[in-house]
Amino acid sequence: MIESFLKYIEFEKRYSKHTVISYKNDLEQFNIFLSNLDQQLNLQSVVYPHIRSWVITLVEDGISPSSVNRKMASLRSYYKFLMKSGALKKDPTIQLKALKTSKRLPQFAQESEMQRLFDLVDFGNDFTGKRDELMMELLYATGIRRSELIALKVDSINLGKSQIKVLGKRNKERIIPLNTEVAELIQKYLKMRDEAFGNTNNFLLLTDKGEQLYDGFVYRKVKRYLGATTSLEKKSPHILRHTFATHLLNNGADLNAVKELLGHSSLAATQVYTHNSLDKLKKVFEQAHPKA
């Protein structure tokens, strides 16, 4: 039933490949745990105490509460699928409760650091340089995810309206406006791209060989360029997404508007960035108010 479930979440629920792999790993890990408990046990014969024992074991092994909660979510989805398909009559996860987690504020680069990056870093004027510059600009100026950046196609760009169409999680489309600087950079890049590779590939950003970008490529580039101007411990494409959202809110953007730009399904996911904005307001208050 695991394979049927994985096909269901990939093709019907439209989960990303990374999520499908995570669910698969979690279910296989739980299955191994069951076999070690009793070789007669399997995923369809478990009851709540078996799952509770697994959760306790994970915690004792030092797995973080957020990771344990994710694994529990995998089980919930799987047993919900079994119930829906009629393969199970009672859901063994119904008593499961999420572990308490400490809220970690998203890391982000300072506005001055991002300014230095685009003012001082010499990307170069060849295809590679313009591609790298556009990649960094798009991540910071639009807040798109790494997977969304990689999936961008030439026909996703509407320079006439200065906007891009992004295909997000679960195939949900959203429109994101482009500032003039990024729109002009796209025009320059597209000319160089066409001269180098013609119309052989419809993906917007290409490797030096004219192929679609991949996760490791984008991660290494972002780490390199962020490392040149920031002191952040973590230097990843997602940091630029955090930076985009935080800078918008720090400069007075509406929370609901930021939610739509990020492609969040709920406002709760976006509200985490307001803590960073409030920290900045608190510092301004302490520096400026006579009674602070």
Output the CA–CA distances (angstroms, integers) from residue 246 to 67, 119, 141, 267, in the order listed.
25, 21, 12, 15
Q: Is 131 known to be catalytic?
A: no
- Is 242 assigned a catalytic role? no
Question: Do 223 and 202 touch, CB atoms closer than 8 A?
Answer: no
Query: How far is the C-alpha of 166 from the C-alpha of 177, rounded, in Å?
Result: 11
Catalytic-role residue among 71, 130, 131, 145: 145
Q: Which of 131, 193, 241, 242 is catalytic?
A: 241
Judge whether 238 counts as a catalytic residue.
Answer: yes
The helix/strand/coil state of 175 is strand
Distance CA 136, CA 134 (A): 5
Neighbours of 5 (CB within 10 A): 23
CB-neighbour burial class of residue 68 (10 A; exposed 0-12, middle 13-18, buried 19+): buried
Write down the catalytic residue from 24, 169, 174, 221.
Answer: 169
Question: Is 70 annotated as catalytic?
Answer: no
Establish whether 15 is a catalytic residue. no
Range 103-135 burial, b when 16+ CB lie within 10 A, else e: eeebbbbeeebbeebbeebebeeebeebbbbbb
Cβ atoms of 146 and 114 within 8 Å: the answer is no
264 an active-site residue? yes
Active-site positions read 145, 169, 238, 241, 264, 273
